[in-house]
Amino acid sequence: MKLNKLTRQEEDIIVRKGTEPPFTGQYGNFFREGKYVCRRCNAPLYLSRDKFDAHCGWPSFDQEIKGRVKRIPDADGQRTEIQCAACGAHLGHVFLGEQMTPKNARHCVNSLSMKFIPKEELKLETIVFGGGCFWCTEAVFLMFPGVFSVNSGYAGGAKENPTYHEVSSGSTGHAEVVKIEFGPKEISLKELLEIFFAAHDPTTPNRQGADFGSQYRSIILCTNEKQKKEAEKYIKAAQKEFQHPIVTEVDNLDKFYPAEGYHMHYYENNRNQPYCRLVIGPKIEKIKKKFNP
């Protein structure tokens, strides 16, 4: 493994496991979209969507990119160190149970342990999934660290700039969908398809549970021909797992219209609402048991 040359100050943190003074790091009060990688070996560590302001003086994340950070109990038994899983570089410590975010974890990381790569330099792919109410679909995919972003919206119809009320009427041709940006090196399209088909019933035309209408149909809208071919191949192979025919539409994405602001991150912001507790919550637990995100 090729390692980057470190300054004396970086070595003090990364090799000798020091801690930079609070409120002095480059990424403390920093919230651009992008990815954080290990300063010593360039391995991906965190996504900007998982960063939050913990008011503690160091960059804080409530989730790492799966498999990229390892945890090691400190010798004193009081704290848990976090290291880059690829090269063992010291990152900081992780704290659980503080109730700062719904994920209930705080990775307290030294800025000098990381480098930031802005979103525009990442090789992200985009795909659109519709599998019933987008509140459910969004909540499912937001659990997976390889997913860079999830945005609820409308697609698959003809009407320009539709509203939620118009789409809900079933007259626009649009479906409730989520647009997913993902890093193929962190999570593959095949993995996304596995999650998508586990999160809804692809054999019920224009229906998911108690939701009826074409706006709730099962649909995959691709942004390139490679995605489309892979989705079609996956569906053909997956058919043997279902008793009834899969009715999922596969097409090219024409236009995605973002949903109104109050729909974004609906589950995280409304966990005590009956629909979230009775419908989305159980679905989340089902997906967690199957995929262990």
Catalytic residues, by residue number, are 133
Distance CA 113, CA 107 (A): 12
Q: How many CA atoms lie within 13 A of 95 on its CB side?
A: 13
Q: Which of 273, 251, 252 is nearest to 262 (CA)?
A: 273
Specify whether the CB–CB gap between 169 and 159 falls below 8 A.
Answer: no
H-only helix segments in the chain: 8-14, 134-141, 164-168, 189-199, 225-238, 266-269, 274-275, 281-291
Dihedral of the CA atoms 250, 252, 255, 257 (nearest 10)?
Answer: 30
φ and ψ at 198, to 5 degrees? Answer: -80, -20
Whose tokens are 């108690």? That residue is 210
